[in-house]
Amino acid sequence: MTYIVLLILFIGIELIYFKIADYYNIIDKPNSRSSHTSITLRGGGIIFTIAILIACLLGYVSWTVMLAIVLVAAISFIDDIKPLSQLPRFTSHAIAIGLVFYDLNLFSQTIWFLPIIFILLIGWVNAFNFMDGINGITVLYAFVSILSFSFLEINKESLPLLITMGLSCCVFGIFNVRKKAKTFAGDVGSISMALFLGYFMIKTILISGQIGYLIFLSVYGIDAVITIFTRIKKKENILEPHRSHLYQYLANELGYSHIVVSLFYSGIQLFINVVLIYLDNKGILSFPIVVSFLLFQIMVYLWGRNKVVQKINFGKV
């Protein structure tokens, strides 16, 4: 019954936010870098932060994790309304990651280990934000990740938290997984969800000792990293908005439906995660298998990206 109440509560909160966003003109106007063509309410992903707040009140998550996510969400929401410089955004991310480290007791780890985790988590948060470019992709991918974490026996005690976050995804999805979205997540949604998934990934690896669970987020990770390297090779500013991710090529240049592309990305990740869970349950998810699995994914991605780029270039001839 608690979860039904939460679902209804989240829907109500989202509808109230729409009224506020409409009144204060918190909108996303399309530009040359956008994958959408009409003005849409921005910041509907604030429901993810609301979910964390409620989860904390219900005792599902610690106050430190809640504070970390609320901090990045607050700065991101301000940035959604009026763009900020890099300094306040980076500072909020750094403090939030420090809170996550404290919650997971990482400060007791070997000192050289912390900068590596810090860089990886900062990179993940920004990569997840960059990948938020078409209807449905962020919420469907987040839902698949949360669902995958939920199936692990080691996360049994965290199920109330995962279900709460999953419900917030369902509510946001009602208004975002559409041909014409009612709302976009905004930085407030994508960055807060990215930090939550990053936190939960580290927590899962620490509890299980299984580094292979990193592959739970590999589809986004591979696309983001290879796209960054491609843009660096072209001497582009990687901090500026762009349309060079594979999903953007599929949706914009090739004209595939946003929902189809989003389902493709989340579906591929779900398939990978099911295989990963199966291998781990069989006790054969060793480090060499994880590396081989990751290299195979990279090769398939590069092959697919190359085919798509060739098709786009052929169409321009």
Q: What value, to the nearest 5°, has the Cα angle with vertex 73 and ends 180 and 9?
A: 65
Under a CB-based contact definition with an 8 Å cutoff, are residues 179 and 135 in contact?
yes
Rounded CA separation 125/175 (Å): 23
Alpha helices (runs of H) in the chain, residue ranges in sequence order: 2-23, 46-57, 63-81, 86-103, 113-130, 137-150, 159-176, 186-208, 218-233, 246-248, 258-281, 287-316
The length of the chain in residues reads 317
Q: Residue 107: count other Cβ atoms within 10 Å of its Cβ.
A: 10
Domain extents for the chain?
Answer: 2-316
Q: Which of 12, 238, 206, 47 is nearest to 129 (CA)?
A: 238
Please tell me the distance from the alpha carbon of residue 185 to that of residue 125, in angstroms, as a whole number. Answer: 14
Q: Tens-digit pLDDT profile for the chain (317 aa)? A: 589 999 999 999 999 999 999 988 888 766 545 555 567 899 999 999 999 999 999 999 999 999 999 999 999 999 999 888 889 999 999 999 999 999 999 998 778 889 999 999 999 999 999 899 899 999 999 999 999 999 999 999 999 999 999 999 999 999 999 989 999 999 999 999 999 999 999 999 999 999 999 999 999 999 999 999 898 888 888 777 778 899 999 999 999 999 999 999 999 999 999 999 999 999 999 999 999 999 999 999 999 999 999 999 887 64
Whether the CB-CB separation of 253 and 312 falls below 8 Å is answered with yes
